[in-house]
Structure 1
Amino acid sequence: MDIKIWSAISKYLTATILVTGIAACNIKQEEVLVASVTSVVSKDGSNAFYKENWESLEKVNQKPAWFQDAKLGIYTHWGPTSQANIGMKWAAGWYGLDMYMDKQYDWKTGELRRFGDNNETRPSYAYQHHLKQHGDPAEFGFKDIIKQFNPDKFDAEEWAELFKKSGAKFAGPVAIHHDNYAMWDSEVTRWNSKATTGRDITGELRDALKKRDLKLLTSFHHAFTWVYFANAHNFDATAETSDLYTDKHDLTDFKPNKRFHDRWFAKLKEVIDNYQPDVIWFDWWVEFLDEEYRKKFVAYYYNKAKEWDKDVVINYKNTSFPSSVGILDYERGRPNKIKDEFWMTDTSPGAWFYYENAKFVSPNEIVDILIDIVAKNGLMLLNVPPNPDGSIPHEMHDMLDKLGNWLEINGEGIYETRPWTVFGEGPTRISRGGHKIEKQKIEYNQKDIRFTKKGDDVIYAFVMDVPDTDLVIETLNTNLSVLQTKIEKIEMLGSKQTVNWRRNAQGLVIQKPVSIPSDFAIGYKITLLHEDEVGIGGEDPGAN
């Protein structure tokens, strides 16, 4: 049977099965489709521009200029997990894993956790909450949480407008999280937003972003699904739900089977083919998948980009891919120095998913983190966690508005810049760079300065807090050779007031401003004076 016809049949059945019950025949149809997808890719790949080997793939342009220029992107952790978090006292971004922990296991080892002097076992908080809220997970599992997800307040136009106003240059959804639920119109998996809610979240958001000249990101977290739902097989997982929960396996069996690998790739291919994302971001655990599948994905994505005639980006964590084919991501972290290779961080102003007791960091802190990232040759991917119904929390509205206002004033020193000779100066430093260093309490003050540059003629200096006295930038003193030319003029971004300054052995001394254009960090544009060298042609420098 023709694949398109087969897909149409599968789609029709998908729309009704989650209402009427789980049917094994639908799974079989999806398996045929997945098999056809992977076989077609393998057949067509022989004549592709990029081959499925690292030697060929290292020729890609893994860090296009547009991405290095962008500095800020947004993505959204949202889906059935948001629905599951209603009523939770503590955030549970991994609800689908924790709800099956009647006894807590260390998912890294599969060992049972014991507590107290009596070495007793304890259920997880999510399991206890689930019992009270929904009943026994054996009767009401995550598959049933999915049926409750109702994005009736989701407005792609409103989202895109807010993201545009924030100053982001690209944005998009968490296309699929660890819970294996696809936020797009899928023929590969019946567990998707179109089938269960009637909304193609990815498609609607793509169209709204395109109207505003924002590029599309889709993020994929489903490599970890193999571990995430391992314990569900002690409750409501069956052979008929294996397309959601994965095939039955031991908690300590961390090696996914071929079926899992095929479905992992098929979902990626479907989003690539149907939505043409500019950025594909990966959460961890991809490094544990077979290398052949990772090479297959990279080759397929970059070859499709060749067809589309556009530069695309792969973001990865840990050792998922070689640095020659993608850009490394730090989760809630960043290095403590300038990196030669361009990098990025994904961070969230609060919990990753909706959490009714969420506490958000201040807009000022987000601005400071962004500046520090850009000064060290990085980019910020900021998470916006919507409410379960798809509306954006007012705290996030306020934060994105204020971030956008600051960038409207200071964006000249952020967008399209590159790191300067040093990233900054001042007393506030990250003790050690890496993942999740945001656990450190970092509060910048007026003595903390961060630098960026454009070309060889302009340096930007950001003062990380409003100064209450004259500013002294010690790095730019006349005794050091860091600044190897004279300064022509200094301007405050977003202000027409005259900036009074002098440069001496102490440093570059800038008089305390009369007024400031923002309550957050202040940006100064330092234009350098380049004098022509003499005697280059052999003439006498002293001659008239």
Structure 2
Amino acid sequence: MHPKQKTAVLTLLFFSLMGFAKGQNTIHPVSTEYQYPEDPRVAEKLEHWRDQKFGMLIHWGIYAVPGIIESWSLCNEDWITRGDSNVAYHDYKQWYWGLKDQFNPTGFDPDQWAEAAEKAGIKYVVFTTKHHDGFNMFDTQYTDYKISGGPFKNHPKADVAKHVFDAFRERDMMIGAYYSKPDWHSQDFWWDYYATPDRNVNYDIRKHPERWQRYVDFTHNQINELTTNYGDIDILWLDGGWVRPRNTVTEEVIAWGAPIPEFDQEINMPKLAEMARKNQEGLLIVDRTVHGPFENYRTPEQGIPSTMSEDPWESCITLGGAWGYVPNDKFKSAEKVIHLLIEIVAKGGNLLLGVGPTADGVFLPEQVERLEEIGEWMNINGEAIYETRALPDFQDGQVYFTKGKDASVYALATNSKNGKVSWSVNLPATNSKMQLLGYTKPLKWAVENGKVVVTLPKGIPAQPAYAFKYSVD
């Protein structure tokens, strides 16, 4: 994930392409319209994924050892901070690479993660098999830079990704493999012969095509491992959107601030996708920000689009302030996460909640507590979230709306006033019953001046949000 968030730009660009920045007029972008998958097996899995609504993104790697931001401190761009400004860049990189010799998570407990996710009502997981730093959290045979190549190698759970996927699969969750297309540790991406001025490949691919081909082969080989050796995989979640054909560069990519090379950083996605889907029938592929046939759903980050979309999408938002573990992180309240989930689902999306384990491989008690609190609300109100779709009138003030597959409408109120909740869109049918989820008796309601007013039962416990079920004409 990218820590330098541009929420306003992201919101604008999620559904439309803006004009290109001055100086980038040599780039001729392809269409940014969403392309629904043509393969019926992929389409079927996509609709199943849309029903799940709530997922967990787990960032875990050597960056957890010192408790720093994942990978990005290796990048030599002017927005990066590294703490000690007296440390030379070369020395810093050597220190960071060397963290592999300290990463020994003997407390690694994927069952704790999966249990906490299940209690929260989470239905799918995306786990970082490799972030941009190139450190592999699975037992790849194509590099020794991996969790199973350091002090953890003799542990019975040394093949970390396998045990994470198994733990979540046992709870009937969809399985997603996060994989970074750039690999800053690879000599075929960041070649030591040259400096590493930014996030891009640091040599001219046109002058060294054989080196780049080795990198493409390496990438395909690793994806082949992930899609053959780790059981059923539902989602291949590809990060590092600057590794892409040059003609797919959009204003969003330009807004990241990194230079746009004069050549393609192309990894042959058609061939990669064909291979991965031969291994995993119906596999969803999420080539983030590279709009086209291999971006099966969109992934806005640390923000929510301002409008509803019928196209599939997922907001990636952290539980704390960081994707991975950092000391003394401040976590969002359960109520805040529930409100985010409600707004996202009402606008047609899923929430992918970022939770980072410690260097020892466990969730903090505060993280577990938050997830349990979210689950308490979901146990009562999940009917208004799961397997729903968006309505054109998705919001009226602090009330959001979803529709069930049986044509029921749900109104989710994130606030009430004087024991009453009201809204003026998606009005109930004249003879409709008004049900409060978690409460067995019908509620009193009336339409007054084009607005429905619902009276909450006396003594009803306070909730982060109230979910009402009713029918419309």
Aligned identity (percent) is: 26
Q: Which amino acid aligns with 1:209?
A: F
Give the alignment of 1:102-117 within 5 angstroms: 105-106=77-78
Cα distance in structure 2, aligned partners of 1:75 and 1:463: 27
| 1:220 equivalenced with 2:197 (yes/no) | no
Q: Which has the higher helix share?
A: 1
Asked if the contact 2:433/2:470 (under 8 Å) is kept, the reply is yes
SS in 2 for 1:327: coil
Q: Does 1:94 align with 2:50?
A: no
Given candidates 91, 105, 111, the residue that maps to 1:137 is 91
Provide the rounded CA distance (Å) in 1 between the counterparts of 2:214 and 2:167.
35
Q: 1:72 aligns with which of 50, 54, 73?
A: 54
TM-score by length of 2: 0.77
Q: Structure 2 CA distance, aligned partners of 1:523 and 1:56?
A: 31
Displacement, 1:246? 4.7
1:296 to 246, 271, 275: 271
Letter of the 1:94 counterpart: S
Query: Is 1:211 aligned to 2:158, yes or no?
Result: no
Identify the residue that residue 473 of structure 1 maps to in structure 2.
Answer: 423
Q: Which residue of 2 aligns with 1:347?
A: 317
* Unpaired segments ≥5 residues, structure 2: 1-34, 206-211, 246-263
Which residue in 2 is equivalent to 1:524? 468
SS of 2:468's equivalent in the other structure is strand
Q: Bigger CA drift: 336-345 or 321-330?
A: 321-330
Checking the alignment, whether the CA contact within 8 Å between 2:188 and 2:214 is kept in structure 1 is no
The residue that corresponds to 1:59 in the other structure is 39
Report SS of the residue matched to 2:244: helix
One-letter amino acid of the counterpart of residue 503, structure 1: V
Structure with bigger RCO (C-alpha 8 Å, 6+ apart): 2
Question: In the alignment, what sits opposite 2:304?
Answer: 334
Bigger Rg over Cα: 1
Stretch deviating more after TM superposition (253-262 or 389-398): 253-262
Q: Which residue of 1 aligns with 2:402?
A: 452
Give the one of 125, 129, 133 matched to 2:82: 125
The yes-or-no answer on 1:186 pairing with 2:144 is no
Deviation digits for residues 8-61 of structure 1 (CA, Å, limit 9, x no counterpart): xxxxxxxxxxxxxxxxxxxxxxxxxxxxxxxxxxxxxxxxxxxxxxx9974353
Task: Name the SS of the counterpart of 1:460 in structure 2.
Answer: strand
Shift of 1:216: 1.2
Match of 1:480 in 2: none
Q: Classify 1:125/1:473 alpha carbon distance in 2 versus 1 (closer, same or farther; 3 Å).
A: same
TM-score (norm 1): 0.68
* Counterpart amino acid of residue 64 in structure 1: L
- Cα displacement (A) at 1:84: 2.8
Cα displacement (A) at 1:461: 0.3
Query: Which residue is equivalent to 1:29?
Result: none
What CA deviation, in whole Å up to 9, does each residue of 1:135-168 have, x standing for no partner?
Answer: 9827953221111111111112222111111111
* 518 and 293 in structure 1: CA distance in 2 versus 1, 3 angstrom threshold: farther
Residues in 1 aligned to 2:468 and 2:343: alpha-carbon distance in whole angstroms = 15
Instruction: Pick which of 268-277 and 403-412 moved more.
Output: 268-277
Partners of 1:68 and 1:342 within 8 A in 2: yes
Matches within 5 A, 1:21-36: none
**Alpha-carbon deviation of 1:71?**
0.2
d(CA) in 1 for partners of 2:109 and 2:216? 34
Give yes or no for contact 2:233–2:280 (8 Å, CA) kept in 1: no
Query: What do the CA deviations read for 1:54-74 (whole angstroms, capped 9, x no partner)?
Result: x99743534622101000111
Distance 1:127 1:411, change over 3 A: same
Change (3 A) 1:334 1:286: farther
The DSSP-based 3-state class of the residue aligned with 2:277 is helix
**C-alpha distance in 2, partners of 1:148/1:314?**
33
Runs of 4 or more, structure 1, over 6 Å off, are none
Task: Please name the residue that 1:413 is paired with.
Answer: 384
Offset at residue 378 of structure 1 (A): 0.5
In the alignment, which of 207, 217, 227 is matched to residue 272 of structure 1? 227
Shift of 1:95: 5.1
Which residue, 507, 526, 540 being the options, matches 2:451?
507
Kindly provide the CA deviation profile for residues 76-106 of structure 1, in whole angstroms up to 9, marking residues without a partner as x: 1111011132xxxxx53335515xx6xxx43
Amino acid at match of 2:109: D
Residues in 2 aligned to 1:457 and 1:343: alpha-carbon distance in whole angstroms: 22
User: Which residue of 196, 200, 218 corresponds with 1:263?
Assistant: 218
